[in-house]
Amino acid sequence: MTKKPIAAMLEVSYKSLSDLGYSVAKKSDAAKLDGKFAVEHIAGFPEAITSEARDELNIGFRLRASELPDYQPIEYAVVDGNYIPVSQLKGELPKERYIVSVASAYSYSQQQFGAMKRDNPQLYAIVQSLRERVSKYSSGCLSDLKTAARKYLKTQNPVSDTRAATLAFIEYLDKTFDTMITRCDNAAARGNDDTADKAKLKDAIVAFKSKYPAYNK
């Protein structure tokens, strides 16, 4: 059985606006389930996310990107030291060829990728360009997931517009402090941010509360 080209698989055709509406509603329901799962399995999401959770999500985002037409593998041949797509060449192909794909672009360690920039700048530029495009795609996917998570949380904690507008400032401060502590935990867990000190942050919050009148009534 012959498989359909991926581009054809992505084409959509609606018979009517009601058909479109059904499709939109179905995708909306799926997005809510995605948001629910993310909230239940990623601590602090969507306001915070650990580097481990982000890395695992990126694996899935990249896998999907690899299925899309814009990120399909491209084979390059080395001609007189230049990397040229094989599709642009005629006749017998050079023996030195490289296939650049989403999987191969992310297969290099940080050290290997750094060495490529020095030793093979042309190949580095090709791989880096693909990584940047996939990274942008992944960021968009994560943004969509955060939106879905916020919508899910809103259904779990319904607050009227009037109540939200009149939320006491002291409540806003408490929520902000909680978010600050969560983000500090995440930053400290990554181990690459010397400014994330949970103990000092808590001391600073205590000092703030001791000075702010609303906390001392």
Based on the domain organization, do 43 and 104 belong to the same domain?
Answer: yes
Determine the pLDDT at residue 10.
Answer: 56
> Would residue 18 count as lying in a domain?
no
Q: Which residues of the chain are modeled with pLDDT < 70?
A: 1-11, 158-167, 217
Based on the domain organization, do 116 and 196 belong to the same domain?
Answer: no
> Would residue 57 count as lying in a domain?
yes
Based on the domain organization, do 141 and 121 belong to the same domain?
Answer: yes
Nearest alpha carbon to residue 35 among 156, 150, 159: 150
Determine the pLDDT at residue 192.
Answer: 77
Q: Domain of residue 187: give its range.
A: 160-217
Per-residue model confidence as pLDDT tens digits over 142-201: 999 999 999 999 888 765 444 544 457 788 888 888 888 888 888 888 777 888 888 999
> Would residue 94 count as lying in a domain?
yes
Based on the domain organization, do 124 and 138 belong to the same domain?
Answer: yes
Based on the domain organization, do 187 and 94 belong to the same domain?
Answer: no
> Would residue 11 count as lying in a domain?
no
**How many domains are contained in the chain?**
2
Average pLDDT over the chain reads: 87
Full-model pTM: 0.67
Determine the pLDDT at residue 158.
Answer: 63
